Structure 1
Amino acid sequence: MSRANSLPNSARLGNHAVEGYLDKTERADMRAAAAKKIEELFDILQIDHQNDHNTRDTPARVAKMFVEELLHGRYNPPPKITEFDNATSYDQLIVTGPIDVRSTCAHHLMPIYGVAFIGVLPSPEGKIIGLSKYDRIIQHFAARLQIQEELVKQIEQHIVETTNPRGLAVRISAVHMCKTHRGVRASHASRMVNSSFYGEFATNASYKAEFIQECTSLERY
């Protein structure tokens, strides 16, 4: 049994990282075990994965997709953050976006896709992180089974813990295919929008309003 299979239940929450992460060998073991289970599921659903040329290798492909792509953020550490000195003591609002969001709904295993925006009020005495790192952080936490309400908080908490800004805002606007491709079968124009505010964004209404205005402006392009 691999270490991944022997972890306590507390380490298996779908949108939390696996304790200690997994190395290449452990991920390969997980892929092989998952492929066997997907074969069993296909057998139950009466899908011939042995003779059908379309589905013959599907269990292995799906297992690889989950371990190495859709759930990548659970098994691998977050990206390293490149910091730069705030040489001019810049303390005004920085907004970046839209940043692509691709995740998987924890309720029905269907895609979530949309865009995110990050607003930062840097500390004059602190550091400024490389702009592309915001994209990588969002990609990392989206690569898990998620619900959007928790995704914004995970992104916020990680950036706050690693950069200690005066204020931080995270906003996501996304389509949930568990709503568009099943159940009510809503239009793809139907989105969920939510935000999380920390520090001066949470206490200063003008900063919050400016951030939302910038998000609206950026989303038009």
Structure 2
Amino acid sequence: MSFAPNANIAKHLLPGDIEVIQTEVERHMQAVLDALVIDTNHDHNTQGTAKRIAKMYVREVFAGRFEAAPEVTECQNDSGLDAVYSLGPIAVRSACAHHLVPVTGRIWVGVLPGDKLIGISKFVRLANWILSRPHLQEEATLMLADELEGRLKPKGLAVVLKAQHQCMVWRGVRETGTIMTTSIMRGAFRDSKAMRTEFMAQIKD
């Protein structure tokens, strides 16, 4: 089976599959190093590089593909909280799906609660779970908004991601100062200009 780069495939994995995937990545990464004419047998700097890269991809930077969603305990909004709250910046790290180089950024979330609430640390855990996959920034922002909306059923939701892409810094145009901003506004944030303006003012750098 094959899956989109930003898909979560945890439910398709059996015990031991992660180890098999990591071994396969290591084998193919060693083939890439060989194709680049890098003598990993005699160069002490690159001995074990294929293994380190495989572990990094599977266990760290792309862990959001292979791990199940973090546990998020929801509670009822028994106090009837009906005021906007926002949190951020949440530091996130991802990778460009085009070149597999780092994307680093910050996320802000605004919520007008409905019947459910979650702890603020859960926003961080969910953001990191979603972003730890190869992505386009636009799709990452949408996926996080969908995840939060599905769990919270809020009256309003705002998600803003500001990120720098190493595919523009490390290669290509080599522009070091460019930041890409994507935003999703739903419910009250979409319908009320005043609410959007208030939220955007809160997250100015």
TM-score w.r.t. length of structure 1 = 0.89
Q: CA deviation at 1:118?
A: 0.4
Q: CA deviation at 1:40?
A: 0.7
Q: What residue identity is the alignment partner of 1:72?
A: A
Match of 1:184 among 153, 166, 173: 173
Equivalent residue, structure 2, for 1:155: 144
Aligned length: 205
2:191 counterpart of 1:200 = no
Equivalent residue, structure 2, for 1:42: 33
Distance 1:88 1:201 in 2: 22
2:163 counterpart of 1:174 = yes
Equivalent residue, structure 1, for 2:89: 98
Equivalent residue, structure 1, for 2:199: 211
Q: CA deviation at 1:23?
A: 4.8
**Residues 92 and 105, structure 2, Cα contact 8 Å, conserved in 1:** yes
Deviations 1:107-159 (A, max 9, x none): 11110001100000001xx1210000000111001110011100110000011
2:157 counterpart of 1:165 = no
**Residues 21 and 77, structure 1, Cα contact 8 Å, conserved in 2:** no
- Map 1:41-80 onto structure 2 (within 5 A): 41-80=32-71
- Map 1:80-159 onto structure 2 (within 5 A): 80-123=71-114, 126-159=115-148
Query: What SS is found at the alignment partner of 2:203?
Result: helix
Deviations 1:38-91 (A, max 9, x none): 111111100112221111100000001111111111111111212233232111
Identity %: 34
Distance 1:87 1:20 in 2: 33
TM-score w.r.t. length of structure 2 = 0.96
Distance 1:44 1:50 in 2: 14
Distance 2:138 2:116 in 1: 28
Q: Which stretches of structure 1, 4 residues or longer, exceed 6 Å deviation after superposition?
A: none
Unaligned runs of 5+ in 2: none
Equivalent residue, structure 2, for 1:4: none
Q: What residue identity is the alignment partner of 1:32?
A: T
Q: CA deviation at 1:101?
A: 1.2
Unaligned runs of 5+ in 1: 1-6
Query: What SS is found at the alignment partner of 1:185?
Result: coil
